[in-house]
Every structure is written in C-alpha cells, then in structure tokens.
A = this chain, B = another copy of it.
Amino acid sequence: MLSVTILGNNSAIPAHGRNPTSQVLQTQDESYLIDCGEGTQQQLAKYKIKRGRINHIFISHLHGDHYFGLIGLLTSMGLLGRTTDLHLHAPALLEEIINLQLKAADTILPYKIFFHPLGEECLIANDKKITVACIKVNHRIDCWGFIFREKKNPRSIDADKVKAYEIPAAYYDALQKGADYSNKKGTIIANEELTTANTAPKSYAYCADTVYDETIIDKVKDVDLLYHEATYLKDFAVKAAERFHSTTEQAATIAKKANAKKLIIGHFSSKYEVLDDFLKEAVEVFPRTELALEGVCYTI
C-alpha cells in the first residue's frame, strides 16, 4: 500500500500557516521524502513521521522553497545519531551547497550521503517495494518530477490448497511469483488453482513546479495519483505562464488527458488565503481532484 502525506503545500513564501513544498511517500516500512522546504523537519515531527525510515530524498529543483529545509534535516539526523546511508537524488549543485555548509560548521555527519545527480530521464531508484523514475518538467530552472511505482505484489498462497496438494514449502516462493506446480507424477497444477492475485501495483507521479506542458501527459499516463502544481487560479493563466507555473484548470487538464485516477493540487500562491476556489475550478475539468492539504495522508 502506498500513501502520500503533505508536509507543505505553499509556494515561495510561507503564509497563512502554510509551509513550502514537502511531501512524504510511504510504503509499509519505508518513507521517501519529496522536496524539503524550510520547516520540513518541524513538519515531520508535527505529523509524527519517523525520520529513521527515510533513506531516499528527492529534490526536484534548487528554488529555495523546495530545499531550504534539507540542510537542517540532514544535520538533525546526524545529531540524533543516524548511521544509516542516505540517498539524495537532486540537481548536482546541491552537493556543493551541502558540503560547503557542513564545512562552515566544521561538521562531519555520522552517516554517509550518496549524492545521485539528476541528469536524464531514467530509473533513479530500485528499492525493495518500489521503483522511482525521474521525468523532466518545464520550469524556469532545471526541474524534475518523480514517478513512484509499486513493484508487482506477490500472489497470495491458498493455505488449504497447498496442503491438499502436498506442495513442499520450498516451492512457495515460485508459486507467489506465478509459477505452476508439477507433482511427482508429472501432473501440472495451475497457479490460479493455488494462489490468488494480490492488489494491483499502484503508482504516484509528482510533477513538481511546471508550466502547463502537454509533453508531461505521456510520462504520467494512467497513474493512480497525480500531484500537479496549481499555483494560481485560472484567471491568472498569463502570469502563471510568465513564471513557469500552472493554474487549477491546467493541472486538471493534464490529469484528464493523462487518464490519471486521481489528482491532488498544491503549491498555492501566498496571495490566496482561502483555497476553496482552487478545488471548485479544478473539479470542473477533472472531478476526482483534491487539494493537497498539510497533514493529510492520501492513500493511493
């Protein structure tokens, strides 16, 4: 099972109690941090998300509202005694920034950071339960989206059936992967007779900061949950384009054209105190939209 918890849903300047961008994608045992605006470590504490389960951090681009909280989180992880490796997937220059800040503090972290610079669209992580690919999105500076895909879930074994057919436990692994069973007499028992399919693997696409760009549609085709920024309401389409951001209507159009199962929108401009119109406008184009609200966990 995958879920996404929103830690920050505001754009550039923190305002109206809303924080700059950060989200955490969770499987049963691991957490994947996506962007890390100022205050993310405080938000993780507030929503009781264990830092120890975060082994991969993904930074979409180097505008401050997406990474100024990272150095604080990395430092705190060290002060709290972390020794586990951490993988940081980000634009290359971030390594230089972090190393300079650690040097200035005369600090050596007690754990190792592996920097994985983003440079082309490809698979960037292949973990126990999920894979992560990065995609180019279209912003004022180099900017990346991330697609998280659950690996195929193993089939569930029917305990009564394997007992009845006297199948040794050594074969269970193969059965979970879908293999048929051939007994001593050479009789083949079909996998479907012995196992049941588990839930289909889920997917989450995070599109970071981007102007309306239809080349994104194919890249996020058919995802279960799409996060697309909607910095402005639709009457601000010109301003949005100038600033390489999107509107409600544009985010919803991408979701519709990509056949996403569900859409969440965020990165709201500080100029809006109330968010009701964001939902109203997006739902007109794509009904299965929700606002990305801080502290809310969206099950995929």
Residues in chain A within 8 A of chain B (CB atoms): 12-15, 19-20, 38-39, 41-42, 45, 62-64, 68-69, 71-72, 75-76, 79-80, 91, 93-94, 96-97, 100-101, 103-106, 140-141
Report yes or no: B42 in contact with A41, Cβ–Cβ below 8 A: no
CA distance A14 to B298 in the complex (A): 27
B38 adjacent to A41 (CB under 8 Å): yes
Q: Which residues of B contact A64 (CB under 8 A)?
A: 71-72, 75, 101, 105
A105 to B93, CA, bound (A): 10
Question: In the assembled complex, which residues on chain B have CB atoms less than 8 Å from the CB atom of A105?
Answer: 62-64, 141
A111 to B115, CA, bound (A): 33
A97 adjacent to B101 (CB under 8 Å): yes
B contact residues around A42 at 8 Å (CB): 14, 19, 38-39
Chain B residues with CB under 8 Å of A12's CB are 75-76, 79
Instruction: State A16–B101 Cα separation when bound (angstroms).
Output: 26
Given contact pairs A13-B79, A15-B45, a sample of 14 additional A-B residue pairs in the complex whose CB atoms are under 8 Å apart: A12-B75, A13-B41, A13-B76, A14-B76, A20-B72, A38-B72, A39-B42, A62-B101, A64-B72, A64-B105, A68-B72, A93-B103, A96-B100, A100-B100
Please name all residues of chain B whose beta carbon is closer than 8 Å to the beta carbon of A14 when the two chains form the complex.
41-42, 45, 76
Q: How distant is the Cα of A81 from the Cα of B91 in the complex, in angstroms?
A: 28
**Interchain nearest-CB distance for A67 vs B (Å):** 9
Query: Closest residue to A101 on the B side, CB-wise?
Result: B97
- 19 contacting pairs across A/B (C-beta < 8 A): A13-B76, A13-B80, A14-B42, A19-B42, A38-B38, A38-B39, A38-B68, A38-B69, A62-B104, A63-B105, A64-B71, A68-B68, A68-B72, A91-B104, A93-B104, A97-B97, A105-B141, A106-B140, A106-B141
How far apart sit A105 and B140, CA to CA, in the bound complex (Å)? 9
In the complex, residue of chain B having the shortest beta-carbon distance to the beta carbon of A16: B45
- Closest chain B residue, CB of each to CB of A104: B62
Q: In the complex, how many angstroms separate the beta carbon of A203 from the nearest chain B beta carbon?
A: 30
Give A103 to B63 CA distance when docked, in angstroms: 10
Q: Give the chain B neighbours of A94 by CB distance below 8 A.
A: 104
CA distance A140 to B75 in the complex (A): 16
Complex CA gap A38/B80 in Å reads: 17
Most buried by B among A13, A71, A105, A106: A105
**Nearest CB on B from A143, distance (A):** 11
> In the bound complex, what is the Cα–Cα distance between A42 and B20 (angstroms)?
11
Q: How far is the CA of A287 from the CA of B93 in the complex (A)?
A: 51
| Chain B residues whose CB sits within 8 angstroms of the CB of A104 once the complex forms | 62, 91, 93-94, 97
- Give chain B nearest CB distance to A69 CB in angstroms: 7
Residues of B within 8 A of A41 (CB): 13-14, 38
